[in-house]
Structure 1
């Protein structure tokens, strides 16, 4: 008379108790009934889903099972380790994922795990002895295995392709140059919105913003400069001071945004190795105007912006004034009506660059609205679900000299900035007249606004800062004037009738033109 098997046994690989009879049942199906064979086959496939390799440990090649379990334990350890790094330092974690070689390694690891998991599912299906099952059970087992394989290994393959797309996008967008440290505890980044439409000669940045970020707290301050700013005298010792010792002073023919085209046309006069003379010239002009040292720039091409808007599924913008689609050298083919609108790439681009019946300041406000909407509405879920489209569109959207090594730092600052009050000053009428102004008014306003921002963060008060020189800096724009002058037309620009509400509102408060819908 044979003795009953031991009550239980411990599998040292998976660390769980399996009864002797159950283990023998999974390992050998020859003596089982039809129902037990069916349950055994499905159990092996489900074990592969829960803990890859466990089916092989109890019913198949134990060496393969040990390898798979150990591989998955290593994966869990790596994920837990990265999670701890992320909790300890967001910038370090994001900085690691911003390195091309790290993303390349991750991509190949994901592919390897996908292949291993697929192999384990096929082997688990084989161990289930499908030929010993009735036809209906055999089909159900095969279908179940196929579905699990698609959602596991297929999902990993998709994740690998997403990581690869991200690696390619980062390589195309960001440089491998040396990082530049903060100056006086701040990072200053020049944001340019470039318009390269078919009706324009060369590239001209119509939106010129300087973002100054506290290197410790991430508190941001933004300064907007009108495209038609004149009378710019460069800092001594700068490249542009050497090329233009008398400054950029020739009236309506020497506007701030025209520097870009001039520099590109005279690239041979710039130092060897200058990647973008237009960016260098514009950067040095804004440095001279603001009194700040700019470390990096980001240029957003409006035509690429259309592709990016479509990639993220459109933008929600609250439109305050009717805006034409077309105009100027092309006929008006439609209108973007007031109210909360969901704009696709085509309409978002026209809303940002439409000129007909608008002042430069209103157009500047609309461009800022769509860029703000993009920033506010690009949530992690959207990025995850549309990552490959976003990655493919990003190379047409952005140019920057920000090195990959700084991605972690700036991502961390960006997360801190989202919880901070954003102070913004726009150097447009009535704060200054871009064609006739005292340079000290700009530099003193910049200095006092930054000082107020730092003080506000330190004391956690909500007091509004007063700018020196008689100007008042607020979160959005300068204070309203007592007397308002009509906007001055620039060559080739259709200026709105000064009696129209949109033009006047844009001069006194850019946020009155539109806003990013919440």
Structure 2
């Protein structure tokens, strides 16, 4: 076979296509398919041993390198997959590998194909090889495209460097702290509304060793709080009054007020003024560090839910669409993005505080159901929705550390929730000493004791945040929740 020809039983050489052109093209295609799976098979059959061994050796190196890298450096692969420069290199590498693989397929067919094929067999062979080339190239092209989309998503959402543009110390991502505190915000931006009101504000304090998390929820209608020292405190020395007329402002107004008044946060760029002032304000209210923030636009959140195919959740009682006079029926439901938005935002027959609890349960359900298979199969749509929905100041360099931490949170870590709502506090006249003490105890994991400081009536701010139906608030009859409770226990299942 050294000269690439077939042999008869009497050792008389014949051309591979003699007397059986159909069999010749079938054998050539079979060898080409084998070479697409293992490089060099067709070349070795044709007697081109040097080229065949080189191709086989290269293929073996690729397989071994891939297996060893996956087995020994899986953690590093995750880290590299979250770095835009490596994603760019990987995408280019995939395209180059696809080009090489297609070249091997084409050349293998040329080597194995008989020279005297009829026109029909030659055409059929060429078409079949073309289809095989597409079959080889499509997975690589899809992977390269997905890699590019991932890079574009990362660079669109996460900046490089800290808030001042300085390099981040990735060797100590948490700056020696045992916990990292991330402010989770839900904004209500919409085409028919001006600005952003942060109707959902929760500080997630995460133990960096165990992933155990405490969620500290603040109500949107909290009043009589102070802004941080500096230009903001100078403007409002006796507490925030957003309208400037002496009426107490609400906590959910701080974000947009800062965006409209850059002098309150000098040196901070547009679209970061609101987050910076709100982070500092909530840090003062809770007496807890606020390291980073993540803002999820509510309409964008609906797009994320649709991108993962809906969210499964149990609704304990019917929830009315307040504007459309439709009902989310009680029971196990798979909610669309729009329905999930109403589930999290509706105050009909309930109140702000019941809604806060539903929002946390909704976030928990989405996080649980956004499994790797769902993310991979719907990656493009999910990435596009995420770019529209999320803004944050978490640096790109810390993404590997946060990815590792999120794995701990998702895989068995304890998640507790403490909401500072009536009757635990009065939103119109908050007991900030009580809020700070309970927050400190919740984060430290110590026992919380009943407050000895009297609070004013929970209805003090009713005029600023009325029940939309005029009915009784479901939280008014419940005993105060003065210590964190498990989110798994409080969310319907």
Band the TM-score falls in, shorter-chain normalisation: 0.7 to 0.9
Per the alignment, residue 264 of structure 1 pairs with: 259
Distance 2:464 2:53 in 1: 76
1:406 maps to 2:398? yes
- Cα deviation per residue 1:184-218 (whole Å; 9 max; x = unaligned)? 31111010000113554420111101011112222
Structure 1 residues 492 and 501, CA gap change in structure 2 (3 angstroms): closer
Distance 2:64 2:205 in 1: 39
Per the alignment, residue 335 of structure 2 pairs with: 343
Distance 2:158 2:396 in 1: 6
Distance 2:309 2:203 in 1: 28
- The answer as to whether partners of 1:186 and 1:212 remain within 8 angstroms in 2 is yes
> Which structure 2 residue ranges, 5 or more long, are not aligned?
163-167
Distance 2:489 2:317 in 1: 7
374, 379, 383: which is aligned to 1:382?
Answer: 374
- The answer as to whether partners of 1:130 and 1:138 remain within 8 angstroms in 2 is no
- Report the TM-score when normalising by structure 2: 0.83
Structure 1 residues 312 and 68, CA gap change in structure 2 (3 angstroms): farther
Per the alignment, in what secondary structure is the counterpart of residue 237 of structure 2?
coil
**Per-residue deviation at 1:348?**
1.7
Per the alignment, residue 208 of structure 1 pairs with: 201
1:247 maps to 2:231? no
Per the alignment, residue 218 of structure 2 pairs with: 225
- Report the TM-score when normalising by structure 1: 0.79
- Cα deviation per residue 1:221-250 (whole Å; 9 max; x = unaligned)? 1111111112223455x5643543333268
Per the alignment, in what secondary structure is the counterpart of residue 257 of structure 1?
helix
486, 489, 499: which is aligned to 2:462?
Answer: 489
- Cα deviation per residue 1:438-493 (whole Å; 9 max; x = unaligned)? 212112212212222xxxxxxxxxxxx5214549xxxxxxxxxxx99669534365
Per the alignment, residue 94 of structure 2 pairs with: 110
Per the alignment, in what secondary structure is the counterpart of residue 326 of structure 2?
strand
Per the alignment, in what secondary structure is the counterpart of residue 228 of structure 1?
coil
The alignment yields a C-alpha RMSD, in angstroms, of: 3.8
> Which structure 1 residue ranges, 5 or more long, are not aligned?
7-19, 453-464, 472-482
Distance 1:26 1:312 in 2: 62
295, 300, 308: which is aligned to 1:304?
Answer: 300
**Per-residue deviation at 1:283?**
0.4
Distance 2:15 2:109 in 1: 14
280, 283, 286: which is aligned to 1:284?
Answer: 280
Per the alignment, residue 325 of structure 1 pairs with: 321
351, 372, 375: which is aligned to 1:359?
Answer: 351
Distance 2:223 2:405 in 1: 33
Per the alignment, in what secondary structure is the counterpart of residue 224 of structure 2?
coil
1:99 maps to 2:83? yes
Distance 2:407 2:14 in 1: 53
- Cα deviation per residue 1:304-349 (whole Å; 9 max; x = unaligned)? 112111111111121123223242xxxx242211111111122222
Per the alignment, in what secondary structure is the counterpart of residue 183 of structure 2?
strand
